[in-house]
Amino acid sequence: MRSPRSLVGGSPAAAHAITFDGRELPALPGQSVAAVLWGAGILAWRTTREGGAPRGAFCGIGSCYDCLVTVNGHPNQRACLVPARPGDSVTTQEGTGRAELAV
């Protein structure tokens, strides 16, 4: 069976790991944080400020803000745009991601 990879003779670079809420997940170079989470079967990684409804990727191109996560302690990062880098620590974002400000 032919695949795009077999047609061009490409092969992925070595995988690396990121953590999500303490769970180690494999990531390939060039994958976004959202792609890594989807690949691990994780579909929601944020809760809304009012009501705590679960959210994940919606548009997938950075136009909306449903996919916000906290990456390496920095809240409000769009998971669909942030490349997954070796050793990244990604955590679920609750509300605005600024709990320390009590907003």
Domain boundaries, the chain: 14-95
- Residue 20's SS3 state is strand
| pLDDT tens per residue across span 5-52 | 788 877 778 899 999 999 999 999 999 999 999 999 999 999 888 888
Per-residue model confidence (pLDDT) at position 47: 86
Kindly state the tokens that stand for 74. 């920095």
Bridge partners (DSSP) of residue 34 are: none
Per-residue model confidence (pLDDT) at position 52: 85
The CATH number of 14-95 is 3.10.20.440
**Burial class of residue 27, CB neighbours in 10 A (0-12, 13-18, 19+):** buried
